[in-house]
């Protein structure tokens, strides 16, 4: 960027009590050179999320991706005299769909799911990551399901001697072997959560759709941690003795793990991943542990010179970054409702943290999709001021760029988008000594 491209606004900012020579000149520029590329997302947290994604998706734009669930179980009503020597009648797995934006992709696609018993204990004190090795499962006991990720209308199901209504969601009849595994555990498994954990560590739900065509599949947004009431919470209902029911619930969010797989990507995406130091007019963002966009401002530090007392610094009055979505969206493949902006933790790392503006002024920060203008806008005033301060006061180059990424939570949605950088704008208003 050439600083001669800046526009000087009418009038100066005068600090009361100072001489005319100390006046500050106000500038506004929207001609900064920006450099953008698509990079692989670093490991994202897989537990402690509000909701979880489930399904497999063959995106016509970005290729294949998959989301699996691993969850620890608990007991809702202890039984001291559970009849664990009889044969069960049946067992049902139910997980409610969230309200609002609850599916991404083709909800009519029938998907193959495999339900397994977990073979390792999920520890709520741990942080699990989406890209790490999936928790181990016991493949000797499983259930096969083929159907849509959720049913909009579900019939009432039996509960004790009456009926239980259900919200829209996923309802799967478990195999006889699975039901028998739940029915015939030692007595302590039905008395305390600690006893259950010794004999049944939880379940895994893993998509098995390797042959989906482009445009098929998608992700449902499910709620395993809802504990509002017995009807609407996720659970396994074990039926026995014709009219009796034992209910297993799911543990807290820290022991519900949402793992993901993404790729392989189309050639035009792989080309960016292989050469991320180039600039590309179109970049991509994707949910799960997919891809994000890196944005660099290579000439930002031309605004200041290195110093020890900040004598060459400038003051950022306002800095706005606006990113536009291209035309690869529709009712099924809508743009993410909200996006995040992060800063790298170091020059050599793909790890990142939220920019200071997001933490200091969340409502002003932005990031919500403007449907009419088809863009995301962020206030990054504090972030840019800090970068300039580091150079002006200490000679430290912390101009590391930014990461534009789909949130893992709030909201949870399996969305993606492509970004048109012919329209990207960084608009800065700043003051400097005259």
Q: With 70 as the cut, is the pLDDT of residue 358 above it?
A: yes
Residues 6 or more apart whose Cβ sits within 8 Å of residue 340: 354, 358, 367, 404, 405, 406, 407
pLDDT at 243: 86
Average pLDDT (86-107) is 94
Q: With 90 as the cut, is the pLDDT of residue 232 above it?
A: no
Average pLDDT (75-89) is 94
Distance, CA of 403 to CA of 419 (rounded, Å): 13
Average pLDDT (8-23) is 38
pLDDT at 2: 37
Higher pLDDT, 161 or 198: 198
Among residues 421, 350, 430, the alpha carbon closest in space to that of 387 is found at 430
Tell me the CA end-to-end span of the chain in Å, nearest whole number: 20
Global pTM value = 0.89
Give pLDDT tens digits for 251-305.
Answer: 889 999 999 999 999 999 999 999 999 999 999 999 998 999 999 999 999 888 6
pLDDT at 116: 98
Percent of the chain scoring above 70 in pLDDT: 92
Lowest-pLDDT choice from 199-203, 225-229, 363-367: 225-229
319 class by beta-carbon count within 10 Å (0-12 exposed, 13-18 middle, 19+ buried): buried
Report cis status (omega within 30 of 0) of the bond before 264: yes
Phi, psi angles (nearest 5°) of residue 55: 140, 180
pLDDT at 5: 40
For 7, half-sphere exposure in the C-beta direction (CA atoms, 13 angstrom radius) is: 9
Give pLDDT tens digits for 135-177.
Answer: 999 999 999 999 999 998 888 887 877 888 888 999 999 999 9
Percent of the chain scoring above 90 in pLDDT: 71
Residues 6 or more apart whose Cβ sits within 8 Å of residue 379: 318, 319, 320, 357, 361, 364, 365, 366
Compute, in degrees rounded to 10, the torsion defined by CA atoms 152, 155, 159, 165. Answer: 50
Q: How confident is the model at residue 126 (pLDDT cuts 50, 70, 90)?
A: very high
Rounded mean pLDDT of the chain?
89
Give pLDDT tens digits for 19-42.
Answer: 444 556 777 777 788 999 999 987
Domain-by-domain residue ranges, the chain? 3-31+297-433, 52-262
Lowest-pLDDT choice from 34-48, 62-76, 83-97, 293-307: 293-307
Q: In angstroms, what CA-CA distances link 278 with 30, 66, 205, 352, 417? A: 21, 29, 40, 20, 20
pLDDT at 354: 92
Distance, CA of 285 to CA of 361 (rounded, Å): 24
Distance, CA of 330 to CA of 417 (rounded, Å): 11
> DSSP of 337-359, one letter per residue?
SB-EEEEESSTT---EEE-HHHH
pLDDT at 432: 81
């Amino acid at each position: 960027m050439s600083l001669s491209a800046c526009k000087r606004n009418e009038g100066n900012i005068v600090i009361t009590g100072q001489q005319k020579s100390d006046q500050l000149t106000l500038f506004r520029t929207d001609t900064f050179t920006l450099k953008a590329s698509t990079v692989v997302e670093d490991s994202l947290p897989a537990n402690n999320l509000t909701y979880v994604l489930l399904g497999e998706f063959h995106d016509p734009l970005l290729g294949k991706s998959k989301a699996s669930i691993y969850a620890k179980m608990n007991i809702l009503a202890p039984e001291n005299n559970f009849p664990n020597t009889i044969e069960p009648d049946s067992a049902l797995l139910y997980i409610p769909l969230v309200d609002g934006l609850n599916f991404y992709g083709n909800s009519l696609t029938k998907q193959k799911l495999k339900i397994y018993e977990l073979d390792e204990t999920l520890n709520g004190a741990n942080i699990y990551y989406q890209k790490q090795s999936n928790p181990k499962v016991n493949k000797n006991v499983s259930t096969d399901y083929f159907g849509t990720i959720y049913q909009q209308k579900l019939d009432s199901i039996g509960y004790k001697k009456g009926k239980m209504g259900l919200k829209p969601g996923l309802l799967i009849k478990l195999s006889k072997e699975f039901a028998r595994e739940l029915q015939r555990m030692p007595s302590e498994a039905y008395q305390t959560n600690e006893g259950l954990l010794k004999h049944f560590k939880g379940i895994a739900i893993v998509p098995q759709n390797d042959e989906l065509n482009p445009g098929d599949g998608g992700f449902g947004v499910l709620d395993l941690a809802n504990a509002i009431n017995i009807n609407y919470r996720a659970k396994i209902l074990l039926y026995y003795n014709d009219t009796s029911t034992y209910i297993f619930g799911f543990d807290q969010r820290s022991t519900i793990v949402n793992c993901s797989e993404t790729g392989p990507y189309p050639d035009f995406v792989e080309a960016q991943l292989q050469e991320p130091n180039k600039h590309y007019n179109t970049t991509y963002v994707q949910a799960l542990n997919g891809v994000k966009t890196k944005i660099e401002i290579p000439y930002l530090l031309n605004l200041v010179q290195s110093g020890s007392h900040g004598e060459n610094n400038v003051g950022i009055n306002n800095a706005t970054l606006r990113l536009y979505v291209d035309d690869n969206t529709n009712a099924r493949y809508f743009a993410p409702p909200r996006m995040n902006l992060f800063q790298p933790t170091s020059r050599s790392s793909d790890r990142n943290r939220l920019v200071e503006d997001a933490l200091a002024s969340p409502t002003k920060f932005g990031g919500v999709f403007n449907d009419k203008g088809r863009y995301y806008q962020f206030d990054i005033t504090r972030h840019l001021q800090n970068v300039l301060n580091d150079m002006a006061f200490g000679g430290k180059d912390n101009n590391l760029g930014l990461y534009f990424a789909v949130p893992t939570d709030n909201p949870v949605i399996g969305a993606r988008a492509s970004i048109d950088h012919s329209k990207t704008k960084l608009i800065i208003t700043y003051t400097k000594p005259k």
